[in-house]
Amino acid sequence: MNFPLVTDSYFYAIAAPAVVPLPLAPLGLRWGVRLARRYTPIFFRLTRLGMFLTGCMLLRDGLH
């Protein structure tokens, strides 16, 4: 059975660029955990502020 979408050119154009940064994934995970542990209170305050502002904008748009 021949699958016309899966060819060598497809792999090198689509799949290969996604595979290149895979060795950096453990470093990114370690960095993200470190940042989350260090800045958790600030992160949650900013998240709540963003959610509040988004809710205000949605209410304003819904009432107009």
Residue whose entry in the numeric block shows the structure tokens 């993200």 = 32
pLDDT score recorded for residue 62: 93
The pLDDT tens digits of the residues spanning 23-33 come to 889 998 998 88
pTM for the whole structure: 0.43
Whether residue 4 is predicted with pLDDT greater than 70 in this model: the reply is: no
Contacts of 28 (CB under 8 A, 6+ apart): none
CB 5 within 8 Å of CB 13: no
Whether residue 18 is predicted with pLDDT greater than 90 in this model: the reply is: no
Question: CA–CA separation, 37 vs 23, rounded Å?
Answer: 23
Joined tokens for residue 52: 């509040």
**If DSSP codes are grouped into helix, strand and coil, which group holds residue 50?**
helix
pLDDT score recorded for residue 13: 72
